[in-house]
Structure 1
C-alpha cells in the first residue's frame, strides 16, 4: 500500500481536549478569585455603610442623653398637673401601647426635641426602670426595651428593617455610676439596603462582564500556550511518518535478501542458519513496527478520509475469522463467532457501516491477535455482533490472563506494556491497542474494555450504523 507522508494533517482532537481542560481550569481559578474578591468588596462596603449608620445612631444617642434630664423634668411637671387617679395608675403602669399616645409630645412636654421629625430616625427616653418617658421622630421599633447595665459592646439590634442603639445614661456624680435612664435611638436601614441592592446588581453585572472577558482572554491565552506544543507535536508526527516511510525500502531489501538466503540453505553454513532465522524474526518485528507507525500517522489525519465506503460489517468479521482460525487451531484455542443468528439473517438486513476497509480490518485484526496471544492453550476467544439502536457493538472476549484493574486505563497507551500481561508475549510493537483505539475514534466510535485477572478480557467496539 502506498503511503502519502508529504503533508499529513494532524487531528486536533487530543489538543481540543487539552485546550478545554486548560480553559476550564483557568476559568475555574479566575472565577474563584473574582468571586472571592467580589464578596470581600461587598462585605467591606456593607460593613462600612452599617458602621456609618452606627456612628449616626451614636451621635444621636449622645445628644439624646444630654436631654434626658429635661425630659424627666418635663414628665414630672406633667404628672403634677394630673389628678390623683392618673398619678396612682402611672406607678404600676407598664403597658407600652397604653402610655405611648399620652407621651407622644403633642405639646405635653416642653423639651428641646419637640420639633424633631426626621423621617428615617426616632429617639425614645426611658427612666431607670425602663418606663417610657417620651419619644420623638417617626421610626420606632416594635420590640420592648432591653435594659442594659453598661454601654460595653455594640448594643445594636436589627428588627423589621430598623437598626436601634440603646444607650445607658449614668449619674456621673455617683461613684458607682447608678443608672439614670435609657435612650434608645432608631434609624431605618432602607436607604442602606437600597444602596446594597444596587451594589449587588452592579457587581453581578460586572461579574458577568468580567467572566465573559476572562473566557475570551482564557481562550486566547490557551491558544497561545498550545501553539508551540501543537507545532512540536506536528513536527514529531511528520518526522515519525517520514522516517517510517523511508525505513520501509531498506527493510524490504534486507528482508528479500534474507528470504533468498533462507530459501537456499545449501548456500549457508549450517552454523549460520539460526543467525539468519534470528535476523528474519527481527526484520519481521521491525517491519511490523514501521507499518504500525505509518498506520498511526494515517489515523491522525482528518476524521472523514476520502477512502471511506459502505461496508457490510458481518462479512468483514467472517473473513477475519477465516484468516485467524488456523493460528487459533495451532495454539489449541477455540475461535468462535457469535454474530447474528443464521435464522435471523433472512429477516434482518446486513449491518452496514461507513469507513476505511483497510483500517477497520486492522482494528479488529489487532483485537483478535491480542486475544489469541494472551489466551493460553485450551482457552476460547469469542467474537459477537449486536445491534444497539444506532450503534453496532462488536465484542471480542477471551479466557486469557486478564488485566489488573489498575492497568485498565493504560492499555490503550502507545508502547505501554504491563509487567505481567504484556511481557509474556514475544514480539509485537506495543502499538496494537493504541492503533485500534485511534481507528475506532476516527470512525466516530469507541472501545470499551472489561477484564479480570486469570479470568479473561472483553474488548467491545461501538461503531455508528450507516443506514
Structure 2
C-alpha cells in the first residue's frame, strides 16, 4: 500500500483532515475550558468576598454611633485595625480570631471609609500607590501603581439610628489568580502543538488501518480482474484459432474436430461466466432466493449417485457414513448447498489417484452440523493451505487446466458456507490425502437474506 500513489495521497488527505478537525475541536475545547475556569474562579472569589463582607457588615453596624467615628467597640471587634496616619501591626493572637485573622492572610485587606471615599482605617496588606480617595462602587477591580490587581466589594454602613456612617471595603489581590490563569494559558498554548503532533501520528496510523481493508479489496479486485481476463483469454484464443483453421479445412472430419474443440471451449467459457456471476451475487448479497428445509442425508446420497460415473472413470471409490435412523435438516438454499458439497467432492475426485477412496461423513455436534469429505489423494503442501480458498488459485495449475477448472470451486464453496453462517476448514498431508470439513449452524439457524 505504501508504494501505491493513489492510496498514499488518500491516506495523507485523510490524516490531514483528521488533524485539522481534531485541532479545531481541541482549540474550541481549550478556549471553552479557559472561559469556564475564569468564570468559576471569579464566581468563587465573589462568593468568598460577599460572605466575608456580609458577616463583617452585620457585626460592625450594631456598634456604630456617629458617622465617620470609630469607637472602641469597633476596635475590639476588629483587633489590629489601623487608623489613618498610624503605623500598625496585627496582634500575635489575631490568627485565633476568625474574622480578623482572614486579613492576615496574604492578599486580603479591609478598609473603613467615609461617605466621600476618604480612608478612616485599614487592616491587612493595602494596595500600594492608590489615591487616598477611592471609588465606592459595589464591585470594583482596582490596580496599584506596580500593576497589581485587586478585586473589592464596598458595602454601606449605617449607625444604630439609621444614619449613613460610611463604607466597608474588602478586597483581595488577584496576583495568585492571574498567575494561575497565566499558567493555564501557557499549558494550553504549549499543549496544543504537542497534542497536534500526537494526533498527527495517531491519525497517520489510523488512516493506515482505515485504508487497509479498502486497499485489500482494491488489490483483490485487481487480481480478480487479471485472473478473469487470463482465464477468458485462453478459450477465446483457442476459439479464434479454431475458427481460422475451419476456413482452411479440407475434409468433413477436420471440420468435425474443430467443432468439437469449439464446443469444449464454449462449455468452459459458459462454466466460467456462470461461476463469475455466482461470485458477483455472493458479493452483492443477492444470494438466497429459495430458502427452505433441506435434508442433508438425501442431498449427499443424490450427489454420490450423480458423481458415481465420474468417480468410476477416475478409478476412485465413493463411500458414505450417514446417520441411519435420523434425518439431519437445516434451513438453506438447496441448490447452493448442493453445489458446495459437489465442489468439494469433485475436487477430491480430481486430485485422488486411481484406486483411491473418498469418504463422505455426516454427523452432528451440539451446535453444528459437520460434513467431512476425506480423500486419499495427493495432499496439499502446508505453505499452500492458507491460499486454497482464494479465487483462481490452483495447487497444480497444469492439472486443473486439463480438467477444465478455473480455480473457483473451493472459493465458491467457502462463500456458500459463509453465507449460511458456517465455514470450511481443511487438514492435509502430502501424499496422504486431505480432509475438508464443512461446519454449519445446527440450532436456531437464520441465513443471510438479500438486502432490499
Question: With structure 1 as the length reference, what TM-score do the two structures score?
Answer: 0.43
Question: With structure 2 as the length reference, what TM-score do the two structures score?
Answer: 0.45
